Amino acid sequence: MNILFYVASAVAIIATFLMLTRMNAVHALLYLIVSLLAVALVFYTLGAPFVAALEIIIYAGAIMVLFVFVVMMLNLGRAAEAQEREWQRPSLWVGPSVLAVVLIAEVIYVLTHADTRMFGAEVVGPHQVAQSLFGPYLIGVELASMLLLGGLVGAFHLGRRLEEKR
């Protein structure tokens, strides 16, 4: 099982890196989906099967489909790819990469000075998650529902104005 975790991790990192360096939006999206699936596998190995399922259904499913739809509506062609290439000059990568490396260094520093114990091999299933969600976190669920409602209204509003303008 351990080997599964490391392989999935490697896939996630590589897929994310490839996503970042693509010039074509659809290619990048595909790599992003691969990365998300790999993270879902990581969740599974960590003993969180419910969240792993959610990762696939909602992230890799719903959200990414939304992205694909938008890319389709924008109807980006080869010109966009050329434009993208022009924007991404190599020198641009230096600053952010330095920031990221420093960040990783800090994370590693923290992790090496912290708890190094192994995970317990127990599974926390949907039952426990649901009891926690609708028990102590009930208010959070209500707030999340309001957030979703807000997102719904916002997206609807923005989209409708677009229709009218046409």
Partner 1 sequence: MNLLWLIPAFPIAGFLFLALAGTRLSRRAVSIVGAGSVGLSALVSLWIAGQFFVSPPAGYAYTQTIWNWLDVGSLHLPIAFYLDPLSLIMTLVVTCVGFLIHVYSAGYMSEDEDISRFFAYMNLFVASMVTLLLASNLVLLLLGWEGVGLCSYLLIGFWYRDPANGYAGRKAFIVTRVGDTSMLIGLFLLYRHLGTLDIQTLMARAAHQWPVGSPLAVAAGLLLLGGAVGKSAQLPLQTWLPDAMAGPTPTSALIHAATMVTAGVYLIARMHVIYQLAPSAQFTVGVVGAATLTLAGFSALTQPDIKRALAYSTVSQIGYMFLALGVGAWSAAIFHFMTHAFFKALLFLGAGMIIESLHHEQNMFKMGGLRKELPVVFWTFLIAGCALAGVPLVTAGFYSKGLIVWQAEASSAGRWGFWLVAVFGVFLTSAYTFRIIFLTFFGEAKSHVHKRPGLAMTVPCIVLAVLSLVGGFVKTPEFLGNIHLFTDFLHHALPPVAVAHARAMSELASEGWVTLALIVGFAVAYFCYIERPEFTASLTRSALGNALHRFWKSDWGMDWLYDRLLVWPVMWFARVDAGDAVDSIYTGIARLCEWFYQGVRRTETGQIRWYAAAIAFGTLIFVAVVLFL
Partner 2 sequence: MATVPMMHALLLAGILFALGLVGLLTRRNILFILMSLEVMLNAAGLAFVAAGARWGQADGQVVFIFILTMAAAEVAVGLALVLRMYHRTKTLDADRASEMKG
Residues that bind partner 1 (CB under 8 A): 95-96, 99, 102-103, 106, 109-110
- Tell me the C-alpha to C-alpha distance, in Å, between residue 68 and each of 27, 30, 118, 121: 11, 9, 39, 38
The reply to whether 129 sits near partner 2 by the rule CB under 8 A is yes
Burial of 40 (0-12, 13-18, 19+ CB in 10 A): buried
Interface characters, 107-126, with partner 2 (x: CB under 8 A): xx--xx-xxxxxxxxxxx--
Instruction: Out of 34, 37, 39, 56, name the contact with partner 2 by CB under 8 A.
Output: 39
Q: How far apart are CA 57 and CA 121, in angstroms?
A: 25
78 binds, among partner 2, partner 1, none (CB under 5 to 8 A by kind): none
Nearest residue (CB) to partner 1, 90 versus 96: 96
What minimum distance in Å lies between the beta carbon of 13 and partner 2? 6
**Residue 33 CB partners (closer than 8 Å, separation 6+):** 60, 64
Least CB distance from residue 58 to partner 1, whole Å? Answer: 25
First-residue to last-residue Cα distance in the chain:
55
24 binds partner 2 (CB under 8 A): no
- Comparing CB distances to partner 1, the nearer of 105 and 155 is 105
